Amino acid sequence: MTLRVVIVDDEAVARSRLRRLLASHADVTIAAEAADGRSAVDAIVRHKPDVVFLDIRMPELDGFEVVAELSPGEVPAIVFVTAFSDHAAKAFDANALDYLLKPYDPERLGESLNRYVESAGNYVRIHVRSEEHRLRIRLSDMEQQLDPSRFARIHRTIIVNVGAVAEIQPWFSGDAIVILKDGVKLRLSRHYRGAIESTFGLTTGGLALDASD
């Protein structure tokens, strides 16, 4: 599957570096770039990307205002990018997929692109060990078809097989990090954390989940 990306940053150098790093991922194509918030809204509406790498401090509209300008159906997966760490809490309040600090680290960027079950428009990418399959279905519809005793939604764009979870660690603003048995790290949004705790016995104190394969 090809992941369609829009890069939004008012600094040409930053856009160029991110473009070069993304070029090393064969499954990523850059649909458009924008240098200010208003152009970002236009690019997202026009190109309908799967993921937007969105700078926070920009002319016209800042990154959060860009998201606010979009209707719910137009909002893709958002990865906020910034040189300032103090925006992290607000970024995840906006239900961002991820938050990257400049200058970009190639490995950290790769983590943002790799997930277990991820939504991409009306397609769902399913990761089974080293294999990837693509289905034309909305993530919400797939969620209804999965066994709720085995699969859990941990983020707006991610569903995991609970049996693949090795550990859960605390993170920012009530969120947590889910670590899979293969080492992949995924974010557990606080919006879904309560359901995970009640359904699968996640202990708030120890943040340990006992799940068998």
Same domain, 100 and 166: no
What pLDDT is stored for residue 94 in this prediction? 60
Domain limit, last residue, from 81, 113, 145 = 113
Instruction: Count the domains in the chain.
Output: 2
Residues 4-32: pLDDT tens digits?
A: 899 999 999 999 999 999 998 888 899 99
**CATH value at residue 77:** 3.40.50.2300
pTM beyond 0.85: no
Same domain, 8 and 107: yes
pLDDT, mean of residues 58-62: 89
Distance, in Å, from the CA atom of 173 to the CA atom of 27, rounded to the nearest integer, reads 32
Distance, in Å, from the CA atom of 207 to the CA atom of 36, rounded to the nearest integer, reads 40
| Structural domain boundaries, residue 189 | 117-200
**CATH value at residue 176:** 2.40.50.1020
CB 80 within 8 A of CB 96: yes
Q: Which of 111, 53, 55, 39 is nearest to 87 (CA)?
A: 55
Q: Is the pLDDT of residue 123 over 70?
A: no
